[in-house]
Structure 1
């Protein structure tokens, strides 16, 4: 398995290197859109990324890639006309996210740089214009459809226009609430974690390489990258971290300080206007047996108040839950898929521990408080509330209005985008290389004049 992944990654990055070489030696224009051009190397780079997803070689996919690039070029050109801006921070964040994923796939930063035959810094600069255009196109697309909504009458018409034989069949869905608590440490319990952070800071100030110490000991997701967080504005960090990052000069190492995540210290690498480039080391808080015991006692007390009717679940969650995702929704968990943010969740999308907790419950009942580990590895305690359970069924307006409304809205969005593109294609000079003119996906882009 690992050998196959290594071979695939090698193929992908060798392909990427070939693309860069082609760009310098035998590149050509494959399409012109208004005042912009699309190069063969642009298509080939997208194809290399397609292969990186584990897909099999497919020459026809290049037709789809060129169609996407044509769409992107048309949107980004209109974005310039409409004065839609993309900040350097947005581009940096997107690039950093991509590189983190690519590094994970390649098995680390050093191996990725070897595959690319260039530093990540150089690769970022090579990719920056493309990412900038992608983000501008995305903003333009959002601008076109941001006011699209559907009325209940439109939802009804959309549903009645569907073929009844092809209506989707929905599995069991539930509405669930949660109250979550994470153990809180006392000052005395935090001391050992602060001492560890102070010890690492001393290693750095005594001459050890900051990046190496971060890779070995930091407990943050940036550790594989030497703790590097890239350029960010104040808004991208919690206030304690931002305050420390923006008061130091380039090269300075901060004292150890505390945030809700644990104890950090950071180094400022560069200042650029309202942005600062830092790297940091984090030592996370870890619950002690005593802190878990205190949290369990508090959770049991709230559970007893709720289940005996002395405290309603909504207020119990709002005032006591530590879940930032659900506490301000009265403890109700939202379906994260799509844009409807419905409280109805298919049971096959639930965490295994949540499903096991609510499976034996009847609507209106509560699971007992139990310990769990969240996506970040943090230990907490939780109990769930089952508000409703809908049995498997064929789609209907009564039970599935929210989902059908989202489908109707998406249909309206697609129609609006199609109308917009049709208008722009008719009034924009578009030329496509002869060897791409047989692509079915591109027929609509080829001028009939």
Structure 2
């Protein structure tokens, strides 16, 4: 469901996969906002992003996107004037969060790297500054609207003032809980993986090429094709165990075996520049053996039988047996990362889960179903369809939280509109003459830019 936002809602909250695959355009300055500029390439890449999602971009939409960019640059300019800060670690954390989301959408880290023909580190390097700007704009917007609240009477008034044809249709939504039983990695498998990585390390120390052996043996397929090279990367981008070793090495030095959540590594430092290192690594993952997968299935079946016999509730079983640290203490309930709520639009549900719940009724519990995660983790899950809503027109009775959020957004947008009106009076703004006929929502008090 989409309750339409005005142009004052920040344009980008996540880099879309399509916008990352940018086309090159001949650049010229389209606008100046204080000390910030908008380049033609920025606008064109944003348009390409929407077009690849199937949207038709006409002149009216082009003008709207351009005004959204003006607003973002105004926020960024003011954020810098107000000394609003975004730390490098915050940027890295956000980059990692977004990349995890993209990887979950495209299927695996390897597929993401193949799609862009770049390593994860190179993708991060390309978009780090863009993410930092987005975070600055978001923090500035939060500073402006953070204290805005709505009362129940304001929510009711907002709903009653909506034209009948503007009351949104809510898509079918589901609330899902799961008990995740991961196949354990046996000590035998760990030992075999460690022996393999130690054997590879000895071969390198005896003169064989690190890069060649990475291509032949590394389980990190994204970097293996590049001889294990990861590109210049900051500390926060690695897991702590890997980072501690990578930043302690001398040029061309080969590390001892390093154990992380991904498996066993050996690392070679290529070069260090300040707080970034370019390293090669070889990863060997312990293999999940057939008998360990069978143990996970047996455990999942036992839990399922306990649920059928009512010897414990689903919530109790999740807390006691689930290996999903994010949901086990919440009754197994999954949280929508895009909204922060427990409800998912049906088209947001992953294909693996969708085919489990598609024919289920509310309260029904599935038999254990095998799963495999992008990182290679395998096991079995028991899924409960907690709630399912049918498509319907929004109402105060059934969709109060959603309408409350819409009313809050509407009130915040009014505050932002007033802020823009005041701030444009004291901020130097120039806009290319080609946008003079755009039906902007705001008076940007701009001087023209004469483009050749």
Question: TM-score under structure 1 normalisation?
Answer: 0.76
Deviation at 1:368, TM superposition (A): 0.8
Flag structure 2 segments of 5+ consecutive residues without an equivalent.
Answer: 1-17, 103-108, 448-452
* Cα shift at 1:258: 2.1
Partners of 2:203 and 2:61 in 1: how far apart? 52
**1:115 alignment counterpart:** none
Structure 2 Cα separation of the partners of residues 32 and 152 of structure 1: 41
Equivalent residue for 2:295?
294
Secondary structure in 1 aligned to 2:73?
helix
Q: How far apart, CA to CA, are the structure 1 residues paired with 2:329 and 2:438?
A: 50
Question: Where in structure 1 are there 5+ consecutive unaligned residues?
Answer: 1-7, 20-26, 111-119
1:4-153 to structure 2, matched below 5 A, reads 13=23, 15-16=24-25, 18-19=26-27, 30-34=30-34, 36=35, 38=37, 42-48=39-45, 50-51=47-48, 63=63, 66-88=66-88, 104-105=114-115, 108-109=117-118, 133-153=133-153
Cα 1:361–1:197, aligned 2, differ >3 Å: closer, same or farther? same
Aligned-pair CA distance for 1:286: 2.9
Preserved contact between residue 314 and residue 331 of structure 2 (Cα < 8 Å): yes
Q: Are the counterparts in 2 of residues 155 and 405 from structure 1 also a CA contact under 8 Å?
A: yes
The match for 2:106 is none
Cα separation, partners in 2 of 1:217 and 1:417, compared to 1, 3 Å: farther
> Could you say which residue in structure 1 is the equivalent of 2:233?
231
CA RMSD after TM alignment: 3.9
Change (3 A) 1:389 1:76: closer
| Cα deviations by residue, 1:215-262 (Å, 9 ceiling, x for unpaired) | 55433375256441643335x544433443454445433222222222
Partners of 2:43 and 2:66 within 8 A in 1: no
1:196 paired with 2:193, answer no
Give the match for residue 416 of structure 2. 417
Rounded Cα–Cα distance in structure 2 between residues aligned with 1:104 and 1:370: 30
> CA separation of 1:269/1:322 partners in 2, compared to 1, >3 Å: closer, same or farther?
farther
Q: Given that residues 184 and 292 in structure 2 are in contact (C-alpha distance below 8 angstroms), is that contact kept between their aligned partners in structure 1?
A: yes
C-alpha contact (below 8 Å) 2:113/2:222 kept by paired residues: no
After superposition, the Cα gap between the structure-2 partners of 1:200 and 1:81, relative to the gap in structure 1 and judged at 3 Å, is same
Larger helix proportion of the pair: 1
Rounded to whole Å, the distance in 2 between the matches of 1:300 and 1:162 is: 51
| TM-score of the two chains, using structure 2 as the length reference | 0.75
* SS of corresponding position for 2:265: strand
**Residue 439 of structure 1 aligns to a residue in which SS?**
coil
Contact 1:92 1:231 in 2 (8 A): no
> For the Cα contact (< 8 Å) 1:318–1:328, is it kept in 2?
yes
Aligned length: 411
Alignment-derived partner of residue 311 in structure 1: 312
Partner of 2:334: 333
Residues 160 and 229 of structure 1, relative CA distance in 2, 3 Å threshold: farther
For 1:345-384, list aligned pairs within 5 A. Answer: 345-384=344-383
Q: Which residue of 2 aligns with 1:394?
A: 393
Deviations 1:263-302 (A, max 9, x none): 2222345567776654433223332111011111212222
- The Cα of 1:369 is off from its aligned counterpart by 0.9
Distance 2:350 2:212 in 1: 36
Specify the SS of the correspondent of 1:282.
Answer: strand
Alpha-carbon deviations, 1:330-385, whole Å to 9, x = none? Answer: 201123333xx222223333233423333444333311112122344432200111
* Partners of 2:194 and 2:264 within 8 A in 1: yes
Distance in 2 between residues matched to 1:393 and 1:52, nearest whole Å: 30
3-state SS, counterpart of residue 281 of structure 1: strand
In the other structure, the counterpart of 2:431 is 432
Q: Which residue of 1 is the match for residue 3 of structure 2?
A: none
Q: Secondary structure at the match of 1:296?
A: helix
